[in-house]
């Protein structure tokens, strides 16, 4: 266990510009609220330490993180975050450019585009790159088919992404499969296939993009079992021959490896990332055990509500016989998750209006919403079905009235050109 439970999820995004004659920039943002997967924050902090030891300057690193882990009351080592068993502290010295409520999709795009006027809160630091710079993005968070989590709604949708990415999230492959344009020098490596969940396993690397991809692919498969993550890559594969140092620095002393770096995880230690917050909430006999049990029951009730609501809506739209097939269809490799991204956002917002927040767990149903769009279902049909299934909006922790909506109405197109 890397740290302790958290009342707020952290999303981490890292953007790195390391030009041949330009500057190097890195960006790290936080993830969805009301979650407790410490690995996401630990990944961000660890990524920062690797960059620093590669010779990058803080002025060229931009960090987004909710920052509710290090001094959380459940952290047995206040002020310390580790990223593997018995590992070193990775939290000390990490910049906090955008934290808490300032970790948003709007700020994310404003930073990438260098648009200071569009920022709300934070340090004001943005990416100020030129034609000789290279972009490297590391994004770790919860996710679902075609969507990435954010600590503060709305979420980040696949159609809104065009860049150079290292992406760690459940169903992360779906954010690039069939979507990357050709001839734009874009290379993406994801931690999972388009239809797979991510597993929490520590993994660093310092080779070429190709060598790192092959190494991580083998290491995360967990002996080719169904319990491992299937690393994927998309876009301009020729870029994989570039040295990783081109993007994260070339300091030969960058060996930020703990003694337990080669720690081998047993199958019992590999869990679905969506379930990590329920796996170990509080130690047996602790004063927080009763409260943890209440939170567990609440979370499981929410999960059953989301699952049953999506299933019933599918039955109303497609009929009981065809519902499961229509909702769970996986498109062939190379074909995008959804034909109309605006429709996908509209369907999610309609669902949450009547049935409450999807939450990090509900992101797994994004493929179902995409299939509803691909089948030609109209928004008024979805609205009627959702209203019939969910007669009232859930209150409390998982209410869309309290936490806002995952989907947003303005479609952002972020296309960055670098050579």
- On the question of pLDDT at 328 being above 90, the answer is yes
Looking at residue 325, its pLDDT comes to 95
Domain limits, the chain: 12-275, 289-403
Q: Quick one: residue 18, left, alpha or beta (phi over 0 = left, psi -120 to 50 = alpha)?
A: beta
Q: Where are the beta strands (DSSP E) in 50-170?
A: 61-63, 135-140, 143-144, 147-148, 156-157, 165-168
Highest mean pLDDT among 102-111, 248-257, 381-390: 381-390
Tokens of 202: 């520590």
Parallel, antiparallel, or unpaired for β 187-190 and 232-235? antiparallel
Instruction: State the CATH class of domain 12-275.
Output: alpha beta
Catalytic residue among 34, 46, 134, 142: 142
Looking at residue 42, its pLDDT comes to 83
**Cα–Cα dist 410/345, whole Å:** 10
**Could you tell me the pLDDT band of residue 385, with boundaries at 50, 70 and 90?**
very high
Looking at residue 209, its pLDDT comes to 64
How many other β-carbons are positioned within 10 Å of the β-carbon of residue 149?
29
Q: Is the CATH number of domain 289-403 2.60.40.2140?
A: no
Residue 341 is a catalytic residue: no
Is residue 92 within 8 A of residue 78, CB to CB? The reply is: no
Tokens of 83: 């990223």
**Could you tell me the pLDDT band of residue 277, with boundaries at 50, 70 and 90?**
low
Residues 8-20 have a mean pLDDT of 33
- On the question of pLDDT at 354 being above 90, the answer is yes
Out of 47-51, 54-58, 272-276, least confident range? 272-276
Q: Where are the beta strands (DSSP E) in 83-162?
A: 135-140, 143-144, 147-148, 156-157
**284-296: pLDDT as tens digits:** 666 666 777 777 7
Specify the higher pLDDT residue, 15 or 136: 136
Residue 170 is a catalytic residue: yes
Report percent pLDDT > 70 for the chain. 46
Q: Quick one: residue 121, left, alpha or beta (phi over 0 = left, psi -120 to 50 = alpha)?
A: left
Indicate yes or no: pTM above 0.85: no
Tell which residue, 22, 38, 24, has the closest CA to residue 87: 38
Looking at residue 324, its pLDDT comes to 95
What's the mean per-residue pLDDT of the chain? 67
**Could you tell me the pLDDT band of residue 398, with boundaries at 50, 70 and 90?**
low
Catalytic residue among 170, 343, 373, 390: 170
Residues 91-111 have a mean pLDDT of 86
């Amino acid at each position: 266990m890397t740290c302790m439970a958290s009342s707020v999820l952290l999303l981490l995004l890292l953007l790195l510009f390391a030009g041949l004659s330009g500057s190097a920039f890195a960006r790290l943002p936080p993830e969805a609220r009301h979650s407790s997967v410490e690995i996401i924050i630990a990944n961000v902090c660890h990524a920062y330490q690797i960059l620093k030891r590669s010779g990058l300057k803080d002025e060229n690193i931009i960090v987004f993180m909710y920052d509710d882990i290090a001094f959380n009351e459940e952290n047995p080592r206040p002020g310390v975050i580790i990223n593997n068993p018995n590992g070193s502290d990775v939290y000390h010295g990490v910049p906090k450019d955008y934290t808490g409520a300032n970790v948003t999709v709007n700020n994310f795009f404003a930073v990438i585009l260098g648009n200071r006027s569009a920022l709300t809160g934070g340090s004001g630091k943005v990416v100020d790159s030129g034609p000789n710079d290279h972009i490297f993005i590391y994004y770790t968070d919860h996710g679902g088919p075609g969507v990435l989590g954010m600590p503060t709604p709305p979420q980040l949708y696949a159609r809104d992404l065009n860049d150079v990415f290292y992406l760690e999230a459940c169903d992360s492959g779906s954010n690039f499969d069939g979507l990357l344009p050709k001839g734009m020098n874009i290379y993406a490596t994801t931690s999972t296939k388009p239809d797979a969940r991510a597993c929490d396993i520590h993994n660093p690397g310092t080779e070429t993009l190709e060598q790192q991809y092959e190494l991580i692919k083998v290491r995360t498969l967990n002996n080719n079992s169904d319990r491992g993550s299937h690393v994927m890559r998309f876009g301009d594969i020729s870029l994989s021959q570039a040295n990783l140092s081109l993007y994260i620095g070339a300091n030969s002393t960058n060996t930020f490896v703990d003694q337990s770096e080669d720690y081998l995880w047993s199958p019992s230690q590999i869990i679905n990332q969506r379930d990590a917050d329920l796996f170990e909430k509080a130690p047996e006999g602790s004063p927080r055990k009763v409260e943890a049990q209440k939170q567990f029951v609440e979370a499981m009730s929410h999960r059953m509500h989301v699952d049953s609501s999506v299933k019933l809506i599918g039955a109303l739209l497609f009929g009981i016989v065809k519902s499961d097939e229509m909702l769970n269809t996986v498109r062939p490799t190379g074909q995008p998750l959804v034909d109309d991204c605006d429709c996908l956002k509209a369907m999610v917002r309609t669902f949450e209006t009547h049935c409450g927040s999807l939450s990090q767990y509900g992101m797994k149903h994004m493929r179902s919403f995409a299939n509803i769009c691909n089948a030609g279902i109209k928004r008024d049909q979805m609205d009627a079905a959702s209203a019939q299934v969910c007669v009232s909006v859930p209150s409390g922790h998982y209410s869309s009235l309290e936490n806002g909506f995952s989907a947003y109405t303005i479609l952002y197109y972020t296309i960055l050109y670098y050579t």
